[in-house]
Amino acid sequence: MDIPRGNIIVMDRRRGKLRVGQGLIQGLKVVWDHWAGSFHKNENFSQIHGTFTVEYPDERLPLPQTYRNMPVLLYDDESGHELCTGCYQCQRICPPQVIHITQAKDPVTGKMVPAATEFIIEYDACMSCGFCAEVCPFDSIKMDHVYELSTADRVSLTMRKAQLNRPISYYASIAPDLWAEVQAGAMKKLQGSIKRRPDVIGLAAVLTEKIKARRLELAAAAAAAPAAAAPAPAAPAAPAAKLTPEEKAAKLAAMKATNANKGVAAPPAKAPVELSPADAKAAKLAAIKAANAAKQAGAAAPPAEVPAELPPTDAKAAKLAAIKAANAAKKAAEQGNSE
């Protein structure tokens, strides 16, 4: 007995007729058919017989493109820039208020920059409503398809920006049609915001880490190199037609370092002033600059080399190093002046 799906079965109670248990037998037959049919798997989910069970860890159903689980942040594969501009739209609309954004500022001017320095989503309280993805004007937040998120503790479900970043290519792979719809607009808006982003602000967190490491390397190399030989070989990277984001950033840093080298007459006291932006990178840069300045000022100033060699892992250490370097530079300058 095949019951077409989606139809309402109206049972005929057969009032007035003598009922002697035929209905019970009919019911048993239906169940028997299901039992007998359940020994083969129901593959297309269109019949009413067969086992429907998907044995989950072993086999998984393909998820539809519009499936949504948890929000993630997209960044551009090519430039490494995040699509997010820190516009707070998602933070405002989020019903359980689990999105927390810190707007980026230009370290030099102190102005707002269309990027987010920190972006936190508390996955443990997120309810997967998808409002953030819908409201995002830059198509930066998208809903991920990953659903195996369980952890042993609550804290590890608080996702920071580095954990939320996904390349666009990933999103295009899980939801190609959805991405194709918005791709043109999103990329155009991204180009616009990239123009307004100084330095490395707005780069994906995974890249900034690498850039940081690379910069330190370069800075150390530059510091170790003799001052006279500095200008030309400081930038080892050739000006190629197409640079990877890392190389680009590295080049930038190297250029800055050489600029500092060139500025012989630059007053060493400038270094602490530049520390005002509470940014690690800026501080580090300042440190490097100060060190270089110190080297320029006094040839016989060995302590100045120390801070450059320190591996400044975090902002505080960097700041400390910068201050030390500045002090050392000042001392060296005084010595030089007195001599």
Partner 1 sequence: MQDVVNQVINTTFGWNWPSWAIALIGYLIVAVILFAIAPFQMLFLTLYERRAIARMQDRVGPNRVGPEGIFQPLADGVKIFTKEDIVPDAADHWVHFIAPCVVVAPTMFMFVVLPWGPGMVPVDLNIGLLFFFAISSVSAVGLLMAGWASSNKFALIGAMRAVAQMVSYEIPAVISLLALVLITGSLSIVDMISYQGGLFISSRDVASVPDWGLGWFIFTPVGFLAFVAFFIAALAEGERTPFDIPEADSEIVAGYMTEYSGMKFGLFYLAQYVLNFLLCAITSVIFFGGWQGPGVGWLYAQAITPVNPQGGWVFNVLAGVLGVVYFLSKTYFFFFVMVWIRGAFARLRIDQLMDFGWKFLIPLTLVNVISAAVWVALTKWGAADGLAFVEGWSPLVRWAVAFVVTLAMNLGAYLYLARIFAHSQAERERLDDEVLESLINVV
Residue 58: count of CB within 10 angstroms of its CB: 6
Separation of alpha carbons 84 and 136, rounded Å:
9
Size of the site for partner 1 (CB under 8 A): 22
1 is a contact residue toward partner 1 (CB under 8 A): no
Q: Of 32-40, 79-87, 96-104, 314-322, which segment contacts partner 1 by CB under 8 A? A: 32-40
Q: Of 24-32, 61-69, 209-217, 226-234, which segment contacts partner 1 by CB under 8 A? A: 24-32
| Nearer of residues 38 and 183 to partner 1, judged by Cβ | 38
Please report how close the Cβ of residue 6 comes to partner 1 at its closest, in angstroms.
17
Instruction: From residue 164, give the alpha-carbon distance in Å to each of 105, 204, 229, 230.
Output: 21, 10, 43, 40
Hunting for tokens 């001052």 — which residue is that?
Answer: 227
What tokens appear for 264 in the block?
Answer: 């012989």
Site for partner 1 in 51-70 (CB under 8 A): 51-53, 55
Mapped to the 3 state alphabet, what secondary structure does the chain carry?
CCCCCCCCCCCCCCCCCCCCCHHHHHHHHHHHHHHHHCCCECCCCCCCCCECCCCCCCCCCCCCCCCCCCEEEEECCCCCEECCCCCCHHHHHCCCCCEEEEEEECCCCCCEEEEEEEEEEECCCCCCCCHHHHHCCCCCEEECCCCCCCCCCCHHHEECHHHHEEEHHHHHHHCHHHHHHHHHHHHHHHHHHHHCCCCCCCECHHHHHHHHHHHHHHHHHHHHCCCCCCCCCCCCCCCCCCCCHHHHHHHHHHHHHHHHHHCCCCCCCHHHHCCCCCCHHHHHHHHHHHHHHHHHHCCCCHHHHHHHHCCCCCHHHHHHHHHHHHHHHHHHHHHHHHC
Task: Please state whether 306 falls in left (phi above 0), alpha (psi between -120 and 50) or beta.
Answer: alpha
| Nearer of residues 42 and 117 to partner 1, judged by Cβ | 42
Please report how close the Cβ of residue 53 comes to partner 1 at its closest, in angstroms.
4
Q: Of 45-53, 153-161, 205-213, 297-305, which segment contacts partner 1 by CB under 8 A? A: 45-53
Please report how close the Cβ of residue 151 comes to partner 1 at its closest, in angstroms.
22
Site for partner 1 (CB under 8 A): which residue of 1, 8, 31, 229? 31
| Nearer of residues 51 and 69 to partner 1, judged by Cβ | 51
Site for partner 1 (CB under 8 A): which residue of 19, 92, 154, 160? 19
22 is a contact residue toward partner 1 (CB under 8 A): no
Please report how close the Cβ of residue 39 comes to partner 1 at its closest, in angstroms.
8
32 is a contact residue toward partner 1 (CB under 8 A): yes
Please report how close the Cβ of residue 55 comes to partner 1 at its closest, in angstroms.
7
Please report how close the Cβ of residue 135 comes to partner 1 at its closest, in angstroms.
40
Site for partner 1 (CB under 8 A): which residue of 2, 39, 62, 299? 39
Site for partner 1 (CB under 8 A): which residue of 11, 24, 78, 123? 24
| Nearer of residues 35 and 147 to partner 1, judged by Cβ | 35
Please report how close the Cβ of residue 15 comes to partner 1 at its closest, in angstroms.
8
Site for partner 1 (CB under 8 A): which residue of 8, 9, 20, 152? 20
Q: Of 44-52, 68-76, 218-226, 230-238, which segment contacts partner 1 by CB under 8 A? A: 44-52
Binding residues vs partner 1 (CB under 8 A):
18-21, 24, 27-28, 30-32, 34-35, 37-39, 42, 49-53, 55
